[in-house]
Structure formats: structure tokens, C-alpha cells
């Protein structure tokens, strides 16, 4: 049995490949879009530009995977402000290319499409915890494209009887994540302080927002569980179900690091927080799969700090 992972060389892909081998016992084929075949080493590598519909169909016909995890995306909210056209192209047209290729196959593989908790956007405090039926009010182009992906996949699942399972995944964290994301950013700064590369201060933005953070190693186990037990045509929130204040995460990072660090508010990072709390209701995922997050926040932070300690080139 074979699983195909699109966008395999990103943050989630290598963890997912390992989980697929361990949990599902499938062999893994991962697609990369650059020519650097070293960028994915957890399985067989195929080059694929998701923007090329003929190439997507040819790859599926050639590999004949029983299961597909669609991760390929322009995944950065800030980049989606700077280059909305690219984000729409990859996330909407790229996903449509995959869906349309699936429609043309002579069999129907299970497909997990990675969506985002950002799709909910402006959530009122009385709407928390958000269920999958919640009205979507995306607040940025990335979120809008992921909401579009979800809607397109829902239509294709019904119209063509495809086995499409959609996620709305909340914040991920863990070793290997880019420091454009808050937990990796704070951990990197803490390690820079430890090594004397910056004054004993962590530059922070708004710390009052509450968000749900899940270790990437738990997230990928949820994806393999959905591949086994998820219902085609359905959407599942993926998260711990417990929002944490960013300020508390920072305190924990400082505690786990052990370095003497003071937070300093940086005007550049200080964005207004329109949505004070986003917390998902994850009971649908729990009931369908039995999945539960296993890794404590302290452990993720310790591992992420170690990752930056071991990769000094990332501290420059």
C-alpha cells in the first residue's frame, strides 16, 4: 500500500511521512516542487508543480496511491498579504487540479486535505469553542483560500463520490518550524540569548491572544487517524481543544530555557488582536478516531529549544 504526500518537504511533510510508515505501514511517496531531491528523505521523491494539471493526473496514475495527504500550499498568512495572487493560485487552483485529477481516476483513494483554523477568522467569544458548522469569516487571503479549498472539496466529494476528508488544523509547533511562527520565534530568540547573540530580551508582539497550539507530531497522528477512520465528505477540527495565552507560552519558554530573559514589546510585532480567543471544539475528531494529543507543551518547547541549540546556522 502506498501513500502520496504533496508538499512533502515543508514543515509537516517529513513528520507525516514517518507517521504514515509507523501508523499505517504504507510506503511513502513525497512530492517536492523544487529540484532539490535532498529536501525530502523520508520516502521516495517525485517532483510536482501542483499548478500543472496534466502533471498532477499523470503522477496519480503512475503512483496509484491508496491514500493522499494534500499539504502543498502557500502556507504563510503574511505572504498571503504580500502576494495574494500566488496564494490563490497554489491553494485554490492547485487544489482544484488535484480534485479534478481524482475525478478522472478509475479508483477512489482516501484523501486528507490540510485546511486551517484560520478559516473561522473573526470568532466571537460566545462562539467559542468553534464547531465545524460555525459560519466562516476569514480575515486574510490565506484563510479565504483554505475556506475555498474546503468548499471545493465538499462539492467534489458529493458530486463525484470521492473519499475526501478535510481538516481545519489549528496552530502547529515543533522542531523544524520556521521562526515566522510565534513559538519557534520565541524559542530561537531564547537560544540566541543563551549563546550571547542578543541582549537578555525577547522581542514580542501582542501576548494577550489565546490560541490552540498542537505539537506537529500529534497533528500528523491525527491525519493518519483520519485516513483510517474519518468520514468522506466531512471536515474535522484538529487541535488540542484548549487555547493557551501567548503570554503563558512565553513564560514557559523562559522557564524551560533557564536563561535570565525579559520580554520587550516590539512595535513592529505589535499587531492589533481582533480575535481574543480561538479555541476549537475537537469532539468530532475525538469521537471519529479516538486520537488524543500526547505531547505536553513543556516537551514541545524543550525539543524546539534543543533544535535551535543544535542548528546554530538558524541563529544568525
Set of cell numbers at residue 264: 520587550
Q: Does 152 participate in binding ligand A2R (rule CB under 6 A)?
A: no
CB nearer ligand A2R, residue 12 or residue 301: 12
Q: Does 111 participate in binding ligand A2R (rule CB under 6 A)?
A: no
| CA 23 – CA 80 distance, rounded (Å) | 34
CA 206 to chain centre: 22
Output the smallest distance, CB 61 to ligand A2R, in A.
Answer: 18
Output the smallest distance, CB 248 to ligand A2R, in A.
Answer: 23
Q: Does 10 participate in binding ligand A2R (rule CB under 6 A)?
A: yes
Tell me which residue has cell 488535484.
98
Q: Would you say 32 and 39 are in contact if contact means Cβ atoms under 8 Å apart?
A: yes
Give me the 60-79 binding string for ligand A2R, x by CB under 6 A, dash otherwise: -----------xxxxx----
CB nearer ligand A2R, residue 20 or residue 73: 73
Q: Does 134 participate in binding ligand A2R (rule CB under 6 A)?
A: no
Residue 286 neighbours by CB under 8 Å, 6+ apart:
292
Q: Would you say 65 and 105 are in contact if contact means Cβ atoms under 8 Å apart?
A: no
CB nearer ligand A2R, residue 188 or residue 254: 188
Output the smallest distance, CB 172 to ligand A2R, in A.
Answer: 6
Minimal CA–CA distance to 143: which of 213, 77, 235?
77
| CA 102 – CA 105 distance, rounded (Å) | 5
Output the smallest distance, CB 28 to ligand A2R, in A.
Answer: 15
* Secondary structure of residue 73 in the 3-state scheme: coil
Q: At what angle do helices 94-104 and 53-63 cross, to 10 degrees?
A: 50
Q: Does 50 participate in binding ligand A2R (rule CB under 6 A)?
A: yes
CB nearer ligand A2R, residue 51 or residue 273: 51
CB nearer ligand A2R, residue 116 or residue 257: 116
Q: Does 51 participate in binding ligand A2R (rule CB under 6 A)?
A: yes
Q: Does 150 participate in binding ligand A2R (rule CB under 6 A)?
A: no
Minimal CA–CA distance to 71: which of 133, 13, 110?
13
Which residue in 94, 121, 138, 148 binds ligand A2R (CB under 6 A)? 94
* Secondary structure of residue 153 in the 3-state scheme: helix
Count interface residues toward ligand A2R (CB under 6 A): 22
Output the smallest distance, CB 134 to ligand A2R, in A.
Answer: 18
Name the E strands within the chain: 2-6, 27-32, 44-47, 67-70, 110-113, 163-169, 171-173, 201-204, 210-211, 213-215, 235-238, 244-245, 262-265
CA 157 to chain centre: 22
Q: Would you say 149 and 127 are in contact if contact means Cβ atoms under 8 Å apart?
A: no
Q: Does 169 participate in binding ligand A2R (rule CB under 6 A)?
A: yes
Which residue in 4, 33, 185, 239 binds ligand A2R (CB under 6 A)? 33
Output the smallest distance, CB 227 to ligand A2R, in A.
Answer: 15
Output the smallest distance, CB 214 to ligand A2R, in A.
Answer: 11
Contacts to ligand A2R by CB under 6 A: 7, 9-13, 33-34, 48-51, 71-75, 90, 94, 114, 116, 169
Amino acid at each position: 500500500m502506498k501513500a502520496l504526500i504533496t508538499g512533502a518537504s515543508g514543515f509537516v511533510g517529513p513528520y507525516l511521512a514517518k507517521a504514515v510508515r509507523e501508523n499505517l505501514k504504507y510506503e511513502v511517496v513525497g512530492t517536492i516542487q523544487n529540484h532539490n531531491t535532498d529536501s525530502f528523505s523520508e520516502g521516495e521523491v517525485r517532483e510536482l508543480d501542483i499548478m500543472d494539471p496534466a502533471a498532477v493526473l499523470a503522477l496519480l496514475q503512475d503512483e496509484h496511491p491508496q491514500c493522499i495527504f494534500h499539504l502543498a500550499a502557500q502556507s504563510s498568512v503574511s505572504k498571503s498579504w504580500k502576494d495574494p495572487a500566488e496564494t490563490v493560485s497554489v491553494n485554490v487552483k492547485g487544489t482544484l487540479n488535484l480534485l479534478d485529477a481524482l475525478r478522472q481516476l478509475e479508483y477512489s483513494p482516501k484523501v486528507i486535505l490540510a485546511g486551517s483554523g484560520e478559516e473561522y477568522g473573526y470568532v466571537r467569544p460566545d462562539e467559542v469553542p468553534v464547531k465545524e458548522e460555525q459560519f466562516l469569516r476569514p480575515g486574510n487571503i490565506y484563510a479565504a483560500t483554505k475556506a475555498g479549498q474546503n468548499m471545493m472539496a465538499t462539492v467534489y466529494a458529493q458530486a463525484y463520490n470521492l473519499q475526501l476528508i478535510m481538516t481545519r488544523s489549528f496552530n502547529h509547533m515543533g522542531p523544524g518550524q520556521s521562526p515566522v511562527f510565534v513559538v519557534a520565534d520565541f524559542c530561537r530568540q531564547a537560544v540566541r540569548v543563551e549563546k550571547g547573540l542578543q541582549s537578555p530580551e525577547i522581542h514580542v508582539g501582542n501576548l494577550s491572544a489565546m490560541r490552540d497550539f498542537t505539537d506537529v507530531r500529534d497533528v500528523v497522528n491525527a491525519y493518519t487517524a483520519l485516513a483510517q477512520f474519518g468520514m468522506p465528505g466531512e471536515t474535522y477540527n484538529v487541535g488540542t481543544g484548549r487555547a493557551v495565552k501567548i503570554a503563558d507560552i512565553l513564560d514557559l519558554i523562559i522557564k524551560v530555557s533557564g536563561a535570565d530573559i525579559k520580554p520587550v514589546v516590539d512595535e513592529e510585532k505589535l499587531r492589533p488582536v481582533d480575535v481574543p480567543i480561538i479555541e476549537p471544539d475537537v469532539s468530532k475528531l475525538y469521537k471519529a478516531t479516538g486520537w488524543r494529543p500526547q505531547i505536553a507543551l513543556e516537551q514541545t518547547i524543550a525539543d524546539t529549544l534543543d533544535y535551535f541549540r543544535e542548528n546554530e546556522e538558524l541563529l544568525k
